[in-house]
Structure 1
Amino acid sequence: MDGTVVPDTRRRLPGRGAWLHPDPDCLRNAEKRRAFPRAFRLHGPLDVDRVRGHLAQLGKEVAGSPRDQQEARKQVDPS
């Protein structure tokens, strides 16, 4: 791994994954708490620019009705 966190929208990439709400506040909190290195069992800081860009793109797509925004913020449970 080159230290870059990438969004796996199709859930097909190999290796460990981490769930994140599609909300920029959740990304900021994960960075602040150093959640990604723990989730991926890696040491050191990781680059989350691609995830930040993906969330920004989702925000543009969800900019429709308030119901759409509410649906996009629901937690996704992998089980």
Structure 2
Amino acid sequence: MCVACRTRASRAALLRVVVIDSELVPDEGAVMPGRGAWVHPTNDCIGIALKRRAFVRALRVSGPLDTQTFERWLSSYGNQVNGSK
């Protein structure tokens, strides 16, 4: 289930996200250890999740998360999907 829009989707349609040292990290292979949160890999769902602090709740983290690395990954992911460089 996507933590942002709360709709069910297949595992292939969602991106797993984990926390490593208070940093939000995408887990593309869905194999990293620890608690994970699932989200649609779109700007809309990720924006909603960040705004509503859904990752903090889903991952049961106390305190703020560093999302800069995740946001950079998202922008490069979008370019890969769209065929841009």
In the aligned structure 2, how far is the partner of 1:43 from the partner of 1:23? 25
Written as runs of structure 1 = structure 2, the 5 A alignment for 1:50-65 is 50-64=69-83
Instruction: For 2:69, give the aligned amino acid.
Output: R
In the aligned structure 2, how far is the partner of 1:49 from the partner of 1:21? 18
Query: Greater share of strand residues, 1 or 2?
Result: 2
In the aligned structure 2, how far is the partner of 1:22 from the partner of 1:28? 10
SS in 2 for 1:41: coil
* Shift, 1:30, TM fit: 0.7
What is the aligned residue count? 64
Query: Greater share of helix residues, 1 or 2?
Result: 1
1:17 matched to which residue of 2?
36
Superposed structure 1 runs of 4+ greater than 3 Å apart: none
In structure 2, list runs of 5 or more residues that go unmatched: 1-19
2:57 matched to which residue of 1?
38
Which structure ranks higher in relative contact order (CA pairs < 8 Å, sequence separation ≥ 6)? 1
In structure 1, list runs of 5 or more residues that go unmatched: 65-79
**RMSD value, Cα:** 1.3
1:69 matched to which residue of 2?
none
Spell out, residue by residue over 1:7-36, the C-alpha distance to the aligned partner (whole angstroms, 9 max, x if none): 111111100001111112211111111111
Residue identity over aligned pairs, in percent, reads: 48
- With normalisation by structure 2, the TM-score equals 0.67
